[in-house]
Amino acid sequence: MNEKGTERDVYEAVADFNRRKLLRLLADVEDLPLYELTVHFEMGRTAVSKHLAILKEAGLVTSRKVGRETRYRLNATPLKEIQDWVSFYEDFWKERIAKLNHLLEGQKMKSDVSLDFQFTSSIEQVWNALTDTDMLAKWIWENDFKPVVGHTFQFRAEPNEWWNGIVDGEVLEVEKPNKLSYTWESAGEKTTITWTLTKSSDGTHLHFDQTGFSEETKATKGALEGAKYSWTKFGEQLEKVLEQ
């Protein structure tokens, strides 16, 4: 009800399917008489007329006399109240769905291996050790790495009877000197390596994430612990290189 208490509530007016159908018909054709509206319903003119009266009380329909005939026209202005109400909840759910997607994405990308290192070297020095080919060779393996998004590269270690010694990769993200990400593919397993660098009061904090291991690998006893052990050793080598 409005402030005068005489007009019908717009929500009540559109709650009925038949009245919503009348509004749609009047939206398609600007001006219609009762008999042309009635042919679209399985009810008589009296019933249609009653529905039109309810719509008129809500201000959604206007009428005018043309000779002995009454013609009806849509007035969509009161529908803005419904639009505003729906828009509020649309924004409400958009925000929550966005948060849910963010949460699900975070769960999907949860690190399989996560390590933290602290170095006394500057963030620029640590970044150089992560991205320079010659520096990488000192603490990981020989390589043709370049910190350029889209660049494909290889790390080449000494092969053995179980492994060919090759790691293929592609650079995914470069945010000098704070973030570096690339794929790490070897022995049929493709994961993503992400290094995150932040300045600290006594040097540089380096965070390592490795994500994307297959469920089969995760289920293999000791597989992730083996990866964690290897990257811990690499981190120790990196520290030695930085101290030189």
pLDDT category, 102, cuts 50, 70, 90?
low
The contacts found for 238-244 with CB under 8 angstroms, 24 or more apart, are 238/117, 238/119, 238/129, 238/139, 239/117, 239/119, 240/139, 241/129, 241/135, 241/138, 241/139, 242/119, 242/120, 242/121, 242/125, 242/126, 242/129, 243/121
C-alpha distance from residue 102 to each of 46, 55, 97 (Å): 55, 44, 8
Beta carbons of 63 and 25 less than 8 angstroms apart: no
CATH 3.30.530.20 in the chain: give the residue spans: 111-243
Q: Report residue 145 as tokens.
A: 């790495």
Topology (CATH) of 111-243: Alpha-D-Glucose-1,6-Bisphosphate; Chain A, domain 4 (3.30.530)
Q: What is the mean pLDDT of residues 38-42?
A: 93
- The pTM (predicted TM-score) of the whole model is 0.57
Q: Which of 143, 100, 121 is nearest to 238 (CA)?
A: 121
Over 60: is that where the pLDDT of 72 sits? yes
* Residue 32 predicted with pLDDT over 70: yes
* CATH topology classification for 10-77: Arc Repressor Mutant, subunit A (1.10.10)
Per-residue CA distances from 94 to 7, 58, 83, 219 (Å): 33, 30, 16, 36
Residue 141 has pLDDT above 60, yes or no: yes
Rounded to the nearest integer, the mean pLDDT of the chain is: 89
Q: Where in the chain is the domain with CATH 1.10.10.10?
A: 10-77
The rounded distance, in Å, linking the Cα atoms of 42 and 64 is 25
Q: Are 231 and 119 in contact (CB under 8 A)?
A: no
103 pLDDT band, cuts 50/70/90, is low
Give 13's contacts (C-beta < 8 A, 6+ positions apart): 19, 54, 55, 57, 58, 60
Cβ atoms of residues 129 and 136 within 8 Å:
yes
Res. 100: pLDDT tops 60:
yes
**What pLDDT digit, counting tens, does each position of 79-89 carry?**
888 888 888 87
Q: Would you state the pLDDT for residue 106? A: 53
Q: pLDDT band at residue 142, thresholds of 50, 70 and 90?
A: very high
pLDDT band at residue 23 using 50, 70 and 90 as cut-offs: very high
Share of residues in the chain with pLDDT > 90 (%): 66
**pLDDT at residue 6 in the model:** 44
Strand partners, 72: 32, 63
